[in-house]
């Protein structure tokens, strides 16, 4: 299934994408794509619905973030060896974990706003993991059973605040609009091999990032198990899993967003995002 949320900001309704790419209204069955709806039992109930029996949503409504009520937006840094190399940093021996504030979450095609005074706003296409059930100290072997599905994430980053202003990476990662998620959650059963998905990102039509989840240092199961040692993961929590090379910081000379650009990014089987960039 491809589950989504559509409508004006703050008033999103739950939806499902049918086989023809049309949005179908799920609000008669669930309140939101969130919480218990993402559990194994909740997903089984949704999977039993014939999409053609659902009301057709006319037109092309705004897509909201594909998950509602996100409690934790956990991020993994330097999870691709070639990205670590372009950043001039050592390949980590354990996952690098930081936070993106949930207030940064926006829809997949909403504007990305460069913060006031920023000179180093950057892009990162990433695979997002959506947790489907309460998860604490789960083993790697059982970890994927706790995953509801996957989505595209743009881990927008302000590099000066991340690396040059002291303290943790979190400061450069959670500005408003720095977390586009979607266009939809693709349930785990639809992805044959999550460690073999191509990913890409363009800025104004120029390809900057090309990669594959096959080159992750720590795979999805390892990351879910590892994070579940640090915190109890809850349904709807999102883990974004690192980016392949090609970020602006890694260019020679470096390239950062200035406002007026269009970012387009996607992952095989998970859909595509497009964001206009503007200054605050």
Q: Give pLDDT tens digits for 89-148.
A: 788 999 999 999 999 999 999 999 999 999 999 999 999 999 999 999 999 999 999 999
Establish if 217 belongs to a structural domain.
yes
Q: Are strands 73-77 and 238-240 parallel, antiparallel or unpaired?
A: parallel
In terms of domains, do 136 and 273 share one?
yes
pTM for this entry: 0.97
Q: Burial code of 60-89, b = ≥16 C-beta within 10 A, e = fewer?
A: ebebbbbbbbbbbbbbbbbbbeebbebbee
Residues 156, 269 within the same domain: yes
Q: Residue 207 — left, alpha, or beta (φ > 0 → left; ψ -120 to 50 → alpha)? A: beta
Q: Is residue 59 part of a domain?
A: no
> For position 231, which CATH number holds?
3.90.850.10
CA–CA separation, 77 vs 162, rounded Å? 12
> What is the domain range of residue 18?
2-53
Same domain for 207 and 264? yes
18 plus 128 within the same structural domain: no
* Domains of the chain: total: 2
DSSP letters spanning 18-65: -TTS-EEE-TTT-S-SSGGGGSHHHHHHHHTS-GGGSPBPPS-PPB--
CA distance 30 to 78: 37
Pair 48, 168 in one domain: no
If the chain, 280 residues long, is cut into consecutive pieces of 10 residues, what is the mean pLDDT of each piece? 98 97 97 97 98 96 98 96 80 95 98 96 98 98 98 98 91 97 98 98 98 96 98 98 96 97 98 98
């Amino acid at each position: 299934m491809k589950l989504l949320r559509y409508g004006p900001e703050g008033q999103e309704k739950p939806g499902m994408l049918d086989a023809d790419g049309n949005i179908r209204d799920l609000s008669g069955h669930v309140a939101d794509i969130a919480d218990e709806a993402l559990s194994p039992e909740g997903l089984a109930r949704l999977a039993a619905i014939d999409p053609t029996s659902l009301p057709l949503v006319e037109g092309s409504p705004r897509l909201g973030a594909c998950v509602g009520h996100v409690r934790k937006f956990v991020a993994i840094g330097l999870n691709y060896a070639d990205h670590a190399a372009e950043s001039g940093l050592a390949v980590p021996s354990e996952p690098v974990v930081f936070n993106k504030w949930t207030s940064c979450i926006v829809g997949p095609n909403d504007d990305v706003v460069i913060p006031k005074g920023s000179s180093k706003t950057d892009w990162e296409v990433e695979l997002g993991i959506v947790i489907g059930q309460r998860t604490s100290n789960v083993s790697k072997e059982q970890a994927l059973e706790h995953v509801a599905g996957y989505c595209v994430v743009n881990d927008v980053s302000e590099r000066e605040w991340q690396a040059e202003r002291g303290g943790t990476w979190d400061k450069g990662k959670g500005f408003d609009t720095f977390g586009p998620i979607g266009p939809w959650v693709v349930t785990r059963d639809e992805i044959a091999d999550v460690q073999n998905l191509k990913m890409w990102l363009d800025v104004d039509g120029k390809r900057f990032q090309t990669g594959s989840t096959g080159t992750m240092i720590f795979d999805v199961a390892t990351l879910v198990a590892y994070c579940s040692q640090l915190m109890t993961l809850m349904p709807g929590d999102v883990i974004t899993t690192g980016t392949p090379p090609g970020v602006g910081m890694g260019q020679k000379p470096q390239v950062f967003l200035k406002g007026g650009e269009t970012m387009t990014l996607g992952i095989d089987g998970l859909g595509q995002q497009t964001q206009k960039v503007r200054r605050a």
